[in-house]
Structure 1
């Protein structure tokens, strides 16, 4: 009898993710490793994200996290999360998520990946947990077996809070194409620090990556940090068309332009029919589909709530909406009738397949 190799299948979000291990990385930072219960492999672009449905008390909570692993290692998928002060979902994960537990997830999604930008030289700039997409992309280049050309700058409050420091230094010690620069605000007690100290500025940028003008820049971190990076690069004459950033914080007011000829009237009423649920509700045109659904008792999963993560994508079967998103939906999905409920306003009567 001839043995046949098993057919390879790729994971889809119709299947839950099973947590198989946890690894502390830094204070309040943990890496969770997931596998597909069916044994399916993971296919995504390095730098993309997934949205997890977390069973917190009071109802499910949807949170979006960048994948920190690389698709070049497809048997598992990892996310590395940092619990900030007042965080709900991430704190629940650190306190409750253990191997053997399964979570529903949607994705992967997002366009923040070096694979979408052809370049010979890259500059990765990150702060805090914003290092996760950079780790995914750097690992993908490292696993390719060729020497990449990456200038990698990461900022943290203290050396002990640098995520993935040992792993990145190990990778950089085995190839010639990864140059690392750590920038910390303060040192740890009784541990001498010989790297950069202070806040990232034009001087440190020039020292850490002297050829920054020749590099494609990818940046991720808190919005004030990314704004400082943008201002520093712009002030140095960098071509900002070659600057790319990822953030799940609310975008700045000028990130999207409202199309001409569309005026939403708070006094105008709209009607939304949730076909699958058999519920119809009225709302103002200025109310989003997501808010109207919640008021009507209809659950539409959501994450960022400003059109980035794509968690609230629903199919519109009739009517018109006014949607101003921030990259969380593709042109193909829009052509197929899908909209993002968090950033779509109904005009007249609208029917959704929910």
Structure 2
């Protein structure tokens, strides 16, 4: 850690420590870190479940929580859980997503059918016995630290086990501030006797916080090459979980129709390189189905700000990434989230903040971008 980081303190004299899934590649989590860091302080302390350096993809150098406690435990600090679906990420899920992608299948095969084996392996990977590792209670931290939850999500709270749910609720009861980002999470916590606030995801402020930097990225070689190849494009992202043949066939028909209606090319991109996120092979198989009717590019930059520039310059966005939708919508780009059911986190979020539904469920006969969807 740099000496400058040692000097990072919050405006009230308390050190500012940001905690989240900044330790793996996911567009939304790394963007949330960037938005939090753009709040006016030159340096903040980033912590996660593992020590990682993701600066090469526009992330940050992140300390493991245990190391941050050892370094700053004698100080007063504000410990901020920074957005995302942190309230329902289990230890097993977190441990798998921190692995190298090539190792994922092996670990899943070894432990997926045995709950006790899963729990033991997750504890060995994460170094914590917490069932919900991205939710940290005040009494697990040094005496001078306060906990905060900033626009967090937890649409699957009611689907957790009793022990998992009790752990989350207990940690939230000890927080100094608690804000959630969707009405589903809000209602679940109210039923548990909590009184959270409701606020939109911090990434809605991306144009304000990061707009100048994103405009600069919009003139780099990668985006300029896209503009040379096509006059306009629909930015498209698809999670690996949507990679079955029937779904890809449906998405390809959908996109070809949208491209024809908008006279636009199609740019496919990944919003997460960590396990259980996006997969390049899924995009290639989708590209094969799209054919050569319109200009088509697979955008291979994993950099968060490059992805923001791609979205900000698009004529439309469609994908399974909620933060893809949030960023595109924040820049005024017509956008749709692909969801499988009304209970998906993207559906719950867009239903909370949009008068006109902004998700698209498959199969469906309506156009991808109906006339009333303008931004």
Bigger proportion of residues as helix: 2
TM-score (norm 2): 0.27
Q: TM-score, normalised by structure 1?
A: 0.29
Higher-Rg member (1/2):
1
* Bigger strand fraction: 1
- Comparing both chains, which one has the higher relative contact order based on Cα–Cα distances under 8 Å and sequence gaps of 6 or more? 2
